[in-house]
Amino acid sequence: MPAVRTVRFTMGADSVAPRERQYAGVQGDHCGTVIVFSLGDDLVSPEYIYRVEMTDSLNRYITTGNIVLPPDSAEISLPLTREWTRSDGLCEIRVVVSKLNSEFGEELVFHTPPAHIYFDGRVEGVSAEREEGRGLTALIESVKDVSERAREALEGFSGMVAAALNEAKGYTDAAAEGKADKSELIKTRARAAEIGKSLSDCSRALAAVDYNQQPGRECEGYGEVSLPKDAASGMALVRISGTTAENIIRNGDFADGIARWSPSSAFLEVSDNTLSVISNGVSPVNRAYQMTGLDIGENQKIYAACRVRLNNSEAQRMQVYCSVKSGALYYFKTQYAPAAGQWYFMSGIQQVSGEQFRLYIAQSYNDPAEGRVMEIRDVIAVNLTGVFGAGSEPEVGQCDRLFADYFEGAASTGSAVRIVSESEDGLERSELYIRGRGALRSFQSARDEIAYNRQSGQWEQIKRVGEDGRTVLSEPVISPVWASGALLSYPGGRIYAEPVVRAAGVYSDGGIAVADTDYPIGSLEGIVRIDFATGLEISVDESQAEIAADRLSFCHPGLSAGDMAFFTYRHSAAGTRPLISARYNESRYTVRDSVTGGYYRWRVAIAGGAPSIVVEQAE
């Protein structure tokens, strides 16, 4: 059914006509009005993508997804669904023009001058039958009304997504005819395909949203956060922040053999980044240690961690501890009666004071014997007080996640991450890929971060720490960053970060190169070739790929020159895990017992026409 009315605006880079406010219908209308924006020549280019944003009379922000103009078109049409007509009064509406760079990030964002529309208010009468409703009956009606409005809003957005995808296809088909340069044609196709994929991600996320929610809450953690059982099944927003730390142990991954490490009653050997401590039969205690020579200072909390395995089951214990010049010993972790062949992750925090810090890793027995082997990997020690300040040091569990990946020397948090939200049973999953600009640093209480800006409708990186990592900027530097996908929250689930990159490329005789050389390929996770004629994603076996020696490109026998492919890979850039702040909505139907702390679900039951609440414990 066509719209009842059409409101037209002519938009230029510095002008809008008419400037007077235009009548756009009544509060609560749904698709009764279409707003048409006729764009001036200065706003039209095949390289541009568009969206429309509005701030209503209650200062609520609403935006469309990305829109691609069809060939030879200079108009954008926006049907006003209930999402846009929720409030009466005057509204400000703009067209936002963006230009993507080769990595599909927004290198240009331009907002047109505002156009103004207004909606008349509407008093919704209450029938006598509804007025008589009390208690649970009124609640049921309210829930049904919210669900219906959410469904209608989703239908309107889905139509908009479908229209945008059709526009993207039409645009690229026309570009294919008009471009003589094949490389430029491929870039154009890649850009449009990326736009379509992002719209598809958004559509799928919205389709799963439960709009029957209560106010939002936030949880925070390094590398991973857990959601409570009363979290709603809905959209989740995250913010990631960086941490800069220094591993005071050198060659803790044994990339330089046994350099900097010394034995005690043992021989040392290195193979495949693993140090073997082999008992020589002189003492029942065999150790490897590193003398750092560092002056720790007074009352500094030190975190130490490593992975240890024995080739026998005769040991009394394995230990990680440190000493200082005074002779004081500080024990980070002791593992009693370790099993043969099992890797143990050993970590702990101790408050240390003194000079000439030494770290020991030891195996102890009842008697000396030759040939007992202790294997060690990924040794880390960090002065938490120096990084976070006295009283602000994280607990050992958070440090285990923050320093989950080995790093040498000073390191910060990589801004190329995949944020995963996973249901409690692991059967449901949603993903958000973020690729920022360089490392996310911290200094004192200042942190670089990446977050979604609701007002601009895009992801932004906020730099607060200087490139030297030792200064705080007088004013933060804000830059747009590339992000793809959307996160959903799952009751009792978890949200965590992985060092994984989603990338796109065009295959050439030399293969496909990564776009950001700061994030070399550790291992390929998946490759899909895009059949642009059909839009289908065709999986390619990533195990057949050959990764280049510099880890910055790969070749594959199943890809040919000119093929466009999306691929995901786990990068090998060392660094700390991000601090994740996740915001989610509380469920309307699962509540926490304020006395016992348990979670309960409620529902409405009807017996003989009489409503009642049924409560059952959430599993």
- Under DSSP, the state recorded for 258 is T
Q: What is the pLDDT of residue 87?
A: 85
3-state secondary structure at position 360: strand
Concatenating the DSSP letter of every residue in 512-581 gives EE-S-TTS-EEEEEEEEEEETTTTEEEEE-GGG-EE-TTSSEEE-TT--TT-EEEEEEEE----BPPEEE
pLDDT score for 202: 55
- The DSSP call for residue 399 is H
> In this structure, what token pair is assigned to residue 614?
């049924």
pLDDT tier for residue 608 given thresholds of 50, 70 and 90: confident
Phi and psi at residue 518, in whole multiples of 5°? Answer: -70, -15
Tell me which of 337 and 603 has the higher pLDDT. 337
User: Per-residue confidence at 142, pLDDT binned at 50, 70, 90?
Assistant: very low
**Angle CA 495–500–501, to nearest 5:** 120
Please provide the average confidence, as pLDDT, over all residues in the chain. 84
Q: Do the Cβ atoms of 286 and 266 come closer than 8 Å?
A: yes
Query: What is the reported pTM?
Result: 0.67
Q: What is the mean pLDDT of residues 28-43?
A: 92
Q: Residue 130 has what pLDDT?
A: 36
65 pLDDT tier (thresholds 50, 70, 90):
confident
Which distant-in-sequence residues (6+ apart) come within 8 Å of 455 by Cβ? 61
Q: Of 351, 359, 343, 448, nearest to 396 (Cα)?
A: 351
Token pair recorded at residue 109: 């964002």
Average pLDDT, stretch 26-50?
A: 90
pLDDT value of residue 1: 61
Question: Residue 191's pLDDT is what?
Answer: 52
pLDDT tens sequence across 439-454: 999 998 899 999 988 7
pLDDT at 91 > cutoff 80:
yes
CB 4, CB 29: distance < 8 Å: no
Token readout for 321 is 């501890």
Q: What is the pLDDT of residues 298-316, one digit of tens each?
A: 999 999 999 999 999 999 9
- 462 falls in which pLDDT band (50, 70, 90)? very high
Q: Could you identify the residue written with the tokens 């020696």?
A: 549
Q: State residue 188's pLDDT score.
A: 52
**Average pLDDT value for residue range 542-570:** 92
- The helix/strand/coil state of 273 is coil
* 618 — pLDDT class (breaks 50, 70, 90): confident
- Chain Cα centroid distance, residue 352: 36
Cα–Cα distance between 347 and 319 in angstroms, integer?
A: 10
- Give the helix, strand, coil percentages of the chain, each rounded to 5: 15, 45, 40
Sheet of 494-498, strand order? 224-226, 494-498, 416-422, 429-435, 482-485
- Count of CB atoms situated within 10 Å of the CB of 272: 7
Which residues does 445 contact at the CB level (< 8 Å), separation at least 6? Answer: 389
Among 16-30, 112-126, 181-195, name the most confident range: 16-30
Q: Return d(Cα 137, Cα 604) in angstroms, integer.
A: 9
Mean pLDDT of the region 550-574: 91
* Cα(192)–Cα(176) distance, integer angstroms: 12
- Ordered domains of the chain (ranges, CATH): 5-207 (2.60.40.3350), 214-244+405-580 (no CATH), 262-402 (2.60.120.260), 589-617 (no CATH)
Size of the chain in residues: 619
Top-confidence residue, 506 or 7? 7
Residue percentage of the chain with pLDDT more than 90 = 55
Q: Is the pLDDT of residue 390 over 70?
A: yes
Cis peptide preceding 18, ω within 30 of 0: yes
The string over 520-545, giving b where at least 16 C-beta atoms fall within 10 Å of a residue's C-beta and e elsewhere, is: bbbebbebbbbebeeeeeeebebeeb
pLDDT at 153: 41
- Please give the C-alpha separations between residue 207 and each of 233, 255, 262, 458, in angstroms, as whole numbers: 11, 48, 59, 21
Cα angle, residue 436 at apex, residues 166 and 559 outer, rounded to 5°: 55
Per-residue pLDDT for 16 more than 50? yes
- The helix (run of H) or strand (run of E) holding residue 141 is helix 136-178
**Distance, CA of 290 to CA of 296 (rounded, Å):** 15
327-361 tens-digit pLDDT:
999 999 999 999 999 999 999 999 999 999 999 99
DSSP-derived 3-state class of residue 385 = helix
pLDDT in tens, 256-302: 999 999 999 999 999 999 999 999 999 999 999 999 989 999 999 99
Measure the CA angle with vertex 501, ends 498 and 507; round to 5°: 155
Confidence (pLDDT) at 3: 79
The owner of tokens 């590339």 is 482
Answer whether residue 238 shows pLDDT above 80: yes
Q: Is 490 left (phi over 0), alpha (psi -120 to 50) or beta?
A: beta
Which residue would you say has higher pLDDT here, 35 or 603?
35
pLDDT band at 162 (very low <50, low <70, confident <90, very high): very low
Cα-Cα end-to-end distance for the chain: 46
What are φ and ψ of residue 617, in 5° steps? -70, 135
Beta bridge partners of 117: 22, 91
